[in-house]
Amino acid sequence: LAAGLPASPAGAAARVWSVTGRGATSLKPFDDTLKRFMQARTIPHASLAVVRKGKLVLARGYNWTADTSFAAGPTSLFRVASLSKPITAAAVLKLAQDGKLSLSAKVAPLLGLSTTADPRLAAVTVTHLLQHLGGWDSEVSGDPMFRDRVIAAALGVPLPITQAQIIAHTSGLKLDHAPGTTYAYSNYGYVLLQKIIERVSGVSYASYVQSKVLTPLKIKRMALGRTAKSLRKSGEAPYFSQYTGKSVIDTSNSVVPFPYGGFNLENMAAHGGWLATAVDLAKFTTLFDAAGVLTSASISKAFAKPSIGVNSDGWYYGLGWQVRPVTGGRNTWHTGSLAGTSTLMVRRYDGLSWVVLFDQRDDASGLNYGDIDALLHTAANSVKSWPTTSLFSAYGL
């Protein structure tokens, strides 16, 4: 057993390790890292894709499970949680690039929001939403996207609540900060971006993203996810959590596994609702490597510093991406986390990118799932030789 890792937990004896997909033997550090990480946390399924200089060099599924009814592969669908935000931001940038939307446009008149409860809402712009500067702060007032029962009770409506009801309720509250003054990560701000995309484009959010962002990259498998276990798509991973909760997707009050009704995934579309494969998201990262779907000017906007500067340790949130200037360029990334989901998408200054998707984010070990970030950088840095051919075409990309 690797140094520093706990012994496998009870019940792991029946689990079997299996790896699917493609990766050169020189990329074994990635396989070794995933094996140690998943076995320490008893994660059943994962998928990893690695890109170097625009070429897909590794596409893998990893499985540590006794249940062989599902085996993760490079084209398995996973909920990607907040990796949805860079996708939404790309769609907004495309609308702006096409002259359909100004990034400095005021949100309230665009969406017909009342500013009676807080006149400061009138100052919130599209850019504020993209950069989490709109003034909503879940640390202060809670995250509206996880307050289904509170909102239903306040409005006197049954579960499940709708996005329109979440917006109506939240617009009736005071902002936590003046717009543009405080960075506070806001899922709700990205719901408003979804509504802006729909209002301006005249089509559904999913349709716009598919036609203007994904189709030009040949990405066809991605789709918005569904909450109910019975609505899992073909090839979609199952999701695991230690926790249960009362369902917010019906009026039954039934206690359900948290990934299957403890939150409403349908409402989270633009901030956390996409299903994707690791290879599809790896292809999505290439959208930001060179002008194509987005112009070089639009790409520059995505990674530009926000008006209120930089965090104490040097990174900032651009338009849908976390950004850290480093010697030789910049690293950009995003993480995703929901009960049953832990994800990471990284674009590195040296032309390396990777996407890793797990179908679990908590377990009895109590180990940190965010540790995968540094571990994958270490794995990448230990690779001695890289493949020169691309696997994208093997996956229809």
Residues 6 or more apart whose CB falls under 8 angstroms from that of 177 comprise: 135, 137, 184
Which residue from 15, 73, 19 is spatially nearest to 44, judged by alpha carbons?
15
% of the chain residues with pLDDT over 70: 97
Note the pLDDT of residue 12: 62
Positive or negative, the Cα torsion across 272, 273, 278, 283? Answer: negative
Average pLDDT, the chain: 96
118-to-134, 175, 373 alpha-carbon distances in Å:
12, 7, 39
Q: Which helix (H) or strand (E) element contains residue 126?
A: helix 126-130
Note the pLDDT of residue 6: 41
Note the pLDDT of residue 3: 38
Model confidence at 7: pLDDT above 50: no
Tens of pLDDT, residues 36-65: 999 999 999 999 999 999 999 999 999 999
Note the pLDDT of residue 8: 46
Scored b (16 or more CB within 10 A) or e, 65-90 reads beeeebbbbbbbbbbbbbbbbbbbbb
Mean pLDDT of the 250-274 span:
97
Model confidence at 4: pLDDT above 80: no
Single-letter code of the amino acid located at 5: L
Tens of pLDDT, residues 185-195: 999 999 999 99
Mean pLDDT of the 197-218 span:
98
Note the pLDDT of residue 287: 98
- For the chain, first and last CA: distance in Å? 38
100-109, Cβ contacts within 8 angstroms, sequence gap of 24 or more: 100/200, 100/201, 101/126, 101/196, 101/200, 102/126, 103/127, 103/130, 103/301, 107/134, 107/192, 107/196
Note the pLDDT of residue 309: 86
Note the pLDDT of residue 395: 98
Whole-number Å distance between alpha carbons of 71 and 73: 6
Which residue from 209, 83, 190, 169 is spatially nearest to 126, judged by alpha carbons?
190
Mean pLDDT of the 160-174 span:
98
Which residue from 339, 277, 343, 322 is spatially nearest to 60, judged by alpha carbons?
277
Model confidence at 1: pLDDT above 60: no
Whole-number Å distance between alpha carbons of 34 and 46: 8
372-377, Cβ contacts within 8 angstroms, sequence gap of 24 or more: 372/33, 372/37, 372/342, 372/344, 373/333, 373/335, 373/344, 373/346, 375/33, 375/37, 376/30, 376/33, 376/344, 376/346, 377/346, 377/348
Tens of pLDDT, residues 117-131: 999 999 999 999 999
Q: C-alpha 345: how far from its chain's center?
A: 8
207-to-212, 215, 395 alpha-carbon distances in Å:
8, 10, 22
Note the pLDDT of residue 150: 98
Model confidence at 237: pLDDT above 70: yes
Tens of pLDDT, residues 8-29: 444 567 999 999 999 999 999 9
Phi, psi for residue 278 in degrees, rounded to 5: -60, -40
Positive or negative, the Cα torsion across 39, 49, 301, 199? Answer: negative
Model confidence at 168: pLDDT above 50: yes
Query: Do 200 and 95 meet the contact criterion of CB atoms below 8 Å apart?
Result: yes
Tens of pLDDT, residues 325-349: 999 999 999 999 999 999 999 999 9
Model confidence at 276: pLDDT above 70: yes
Q: Which helix (H) or strand (E) element contains residue 166?
A: helix 163-171
Whole-number Å distance between alpha carbons of 6 and 384: 29
Query: Do 268 and 145 meet the contact criterion of CB atoms below 8 Å apart?
Result: yes
